[in-house]
Amino acid sequence: MSPRVERQNHDPSCHTDTNLCMPEDIRKRANRRLAIARGHVESIQRMLEDPNVYCMDVLRQIKAVQGALQGVAGVVLKGHLEAHVATASERGDAAELVEELLEALKLTQ
């Protein structure tokens, strides 16, 4: 996916020497919250089996799942900022990491 080089072991939860990988607690927390979001998606699928379902009830539930996914994104982003971006100056890959982050957030101009 996106291997990174020259990590200097700032992140004890990372299992390789050449990758910036996700802190384990963040990874598990994100996974738990994603499981909840998936359950929510499944409940909307069941709503959509009902011929009498009302459009706006479905739309509200979709918005709620989008909010839940935004929460997962926030967890992942927080982990990335603390574990990788905040240490980038020491590693010397700040420009690369910031560019990548802005692209992932669709905030490049």
**Binders in 57-96 for a copy of itself, by CB under 8 A:** 57-60, 62-63, 65-66, 69-90, 94-95
DSSP H or E segment with residue 42? helix 24-47
Q: Which of residues 7-66 bind a copy of itself (CB under 8 A)?
A: 10, 13-16, 19-22, 24, 26-28, 30-31, 34-35, 37-38, 41-42, 44-45, 48-49, 51-60, 62-63, 65-66
CB-based contacts of 27, cutoff 8 Å, min separation 6: 13, 79
Selected from 6, 8, 25, 104, the binder of a copy of itself by CB under 8 A is: 104
Burial category of 79 from C-beta neighbours within 10 Å (exposed 0-12, middle 13-18, buried 19 and up)? buried
